[in-house]
Amino acid sequence: MNESTLLAEVSNENQTLVAVVQQDSRAAYFYIYPTEEQDERFQVRACWLRNLGLAPLQEDRAAMEAGQPPMLAAEYCRNPAGEAPLEAEGLTVIWTESDDGAALWYHGQLLAVIPGWSLYIDHSVCYSASCIKESALVYPLGCASTNTQYALADNTRQFWRSWQREEGNPWPKMQSEYQARYAQHFGPSVKYYAIDQGKWPPKAITQHERDGIYYFLTIGVSIRPMPWVEILFNDDASQYRRMEMGIAVDGQYLTEEYAIQMASALAGFAHVPWAKLTWFGEGHTLVSEVAPLGYEGYVLSSSFYPDNERLVLPPQYGDPVNIFWASPVFVTERARAQATPNGGHELVNKLREQGVDHIFRPRQPLA
C-alpha cells in the first residue's frame, strides 16, 4: 500500500485554514485545507512539490483514478529521475499577511507558494520550485526576478521577521504617527483602548474630542491586507486592501458612556475580514448589537467625512490606507442595500443627500 506520511500541519493565524505537507513513496504535496467552518466556501488547494521516483512520460491518470496524488510528467520536472524525500525538520510554513495563502520553505529555500487569491477562483493555482514548465497541476516558481509570487513570498518572510524583533518593532512608530495624524483633525487623544486581546496584530481605538464631538478611530487594522481584494481588484488591489475605521458622536444627543458603547462596534469589526475570510469596502453594511437603539447596524463609507481628501493616513507597506466611517442604519435601509447590486453605494449617496455625515445624530429612516 502506498501510505502517506504527514510532515507538517500548520494553521493560519485565525484558524480558518490549515497548511499540510504530505508525501508517499511516489510524490510530495503541499495543501491548504479549509477548516470545518469554511469547508462549504472553499475547496482544498493542492500543490505538487516533487516526484520521489522516475517521472512518468505522460499525465499520471492511474494515480488520479485511484484517488492518489499524481506524479508530475517528466517534461515539467526539474529532475525527471526524482528527488530525495523531504525531511520534516527542514520545513517551514509561512502564511501570507492576508492569512489566506502560504509559502513553503525548506532548509531556508523557497519550495512552493499557494497564493491566497487562488482560494477564490474555481481552479487551483500554485507554484513549485521543482516545476520548470506550466502544467495542469502546477506552475514554475522560478525566482524573484521572473515570478511575482516568489518575490512576494520573500517579502512576507521579511514582514514576519520585522514583527518578531524586540528592537525596531513597527508598532510604536505606527501608534505615534496615527495618533498625531488623528489629533490634527479631531483634537488630542484623551483615551486609548487596546482591542487586540493581547494577540497579534496589535490593534487599538483612540478617542478624541473636539467641539463637543466624540471621535473614535482605529489603529493597527491596516497592518494586514484584507483577503479577497487581490482577486477582486487585480492591479488596483493596493488601493483597497488596507483600512482603518472611525465613529463620531455628537455629545448633544448621547453621553460619552453611550458613545463609547457605540464605538465598541469598531472593536468587533476590526478582526472580521481575517476571522471570516472576507473584506470591507465602500458601502458595505454590517449588523451590530451595539448600534444605537432602533438601528440594526452600520454602513461604511469614507465619503461621510467632508474633509476626507485631507485626512491622509500614513501608508502601510507602500499601500494607501482607507478610513471608513461607520454610520448607523435602520433595518429597512440595510435590507434595501443588500437587495440590489451596488445597494450600499446607493444608500450612502441617499444618506449624504439627506445631510448625513461622519457625525452620528439621531435621524428618521429614509423614505
Q: What are the pLDDT digits (tens) for 91-118?
A: 999 999 999 999 999 999 999 999 999 9
Mean pLDDT value across residues 3-9: 95
pLDDT > 70 in the chain, percent:
100
**What confidence score (pLDDT) does residue 68 get?**
86
Weakest-pLDDT range from 65-69, 154-158, 244-248, 347-351: 65-69
In whole angstroms, give the CA distance from residue 51 to residue 29: 9
Flag whether pLDDT at 1 surpasses 60. no
Flag whether pLDDT at 24 surpasses 80. yes
Average pLDDT, the chain: 95
Flag whether pLDDT at 214 surpasses 80. yes
- Closest to 133 (Cα-Cα) out of 142, 125, 144, 146: 142
DSSP assignment letter at 117 = G
**What confidence score (pLDDT) does residue 166 get?**
74
Q: Are 280 and 326 in contact (CB under 8 A)?
A: no
- Closest to 361 (Cα-Cα) out of 208, 252, 287, 260: 252
pLDDT in tens, 338-349: 999 999 999 999
Weakest-pLDDT range from 100-109, 122-131, 167-176: 167-176
